[in-house]
Amino acid sequence: MNRVIISGGGTGGHINPALAIANEIKKRNPQAEILFVGAKGRMEMERVPKAGYEIKGLWIDGIQRSLSFRNLMFPLKLIVSLIHSWLILRKFKPEACIGVGGFASGPLLYMATVLKIPTLIQEQNSYAGLTNKLLGNRIDKVCAGFEKGMERYFPKNKVVATGNPVREDLVEVEKIDENEALNYFGLQSNRPVLLVIGGSLGAKSVNLAMSKCVKNLLDQGLQVIWQTGKFYYDAIVEEQANLAEDPHLKIMAFVERMDFAYRVADVVVSRAGALSIAELEVVGKPSIFVPSPNVAEDHQTKNAESLLDQNACLLVKDSELDTKLEKQIIDLVENTSLMKELADNMNKVSKPYATKKIVDEIEKLKA
């Protein structure tokens, strides 16, 4: 493939696999031209250029669950985005269009099918997103992160179970020099490290629970890398001002070097989104999952429970964070045999070569 458009975004769960796919295409063909198409005002408009790729923004938004002015504007935004998508496709002339979910992939991939351009979508979750479900009968191929249940949303003959893509730098994260990674965060080698990641946008309930227990965790001898999400960062920094000088606490809106963070982490607290799980499986970290209750069909709980059944993780319900999170963290850090067992089992279920399999499917697409 020499010219490819990758469309979608909205969260890190869409952007990270998109970048992983783009990087694998460029690795195979350094001359390949890759254009991203995202939604104006969404995080992909910042993250993609930082990764070295060009991106175009569509004036598109999702349908809100409640009656709002944004919903009244949706038909106009959709029409404008369809026209803009047609212009982008006619000018760039891609050989294939890839959708990773999110608002922008809808108009772009729809117009690609109208123009008979080969299309593929990558569905990360066990419960397919609305945009991908609407596109399911029109596109040529679906690369699924989960093996079971995809026939509920897509024609069975179009689905290939590839697993979810992770960035190449995470596949061999243990080869990173640990001291370099510790120095990046200003941490020490003689204390265990807790990594807290509530998703790319942050998780309010996880942040609230951490606010209540972080001092106790530091007093117990832990070091903490705490990714708050940009919406909560300022408030948490202000709230934790009394710990501002503690060298063992690193509060960050977003961790740019997740490879370094995974390298130094001994235990991870995370939401149970599909991409978070895929990354933690590949890096093999003992993890405590806190599924978000605010997702369709409670699919994060299903994601986490599939690992729990294989003794590959621990689980704390969102409603039980205040009473159980701190104890769960301390108990796990003190139980080195359980930490090793969880890490080994995470590695066993990982699919480190999912990105390569997805790009194999992209290369099979024919106009």
Q: Residues annotated as binding site? A: 11-13, 125, 167, 200, 300
Distance (Å, whole) CA 333 – CA 195: 12
Residues belonging to the binding site for UDP-N-acetyl-alpha-D-glucosamine are 11-13, 125, 167, 200, 300
Residue bearing tokens 């404008």: 80
Buried b (16+ CB within 10 A) or exposed e, 232-260: bbeebeeebeeeeeeebbbbbebbeebbb
3-state secondary structure of 122: strand
Residue type, 199: G
Distance (Å, whole) CA 145 – CA 220: 38
Q: Please give the sequence-ordered ranges of beta strands (E in DSSP) within 78-203, or none if there are none.
A: 96-99, 119-123, 141-144, 159-161, 193-197
- Distance separating the N- and C-terminal Cα atoms of the chain: 11
CA-wise closest residue to 75 among 105, 52, 99, 107: 107
| Nearest 10 degrees: Cα torsion 279, 283, 284, 288 | -50
Q: What is the DSSP string of 229-243?
A: -TTTHHHHHHHTGGG
How many Å separate Cα 219 from the centre of its chain?
31
CA-wise closest residue to 267 among 302, 303, 225, 233: 225
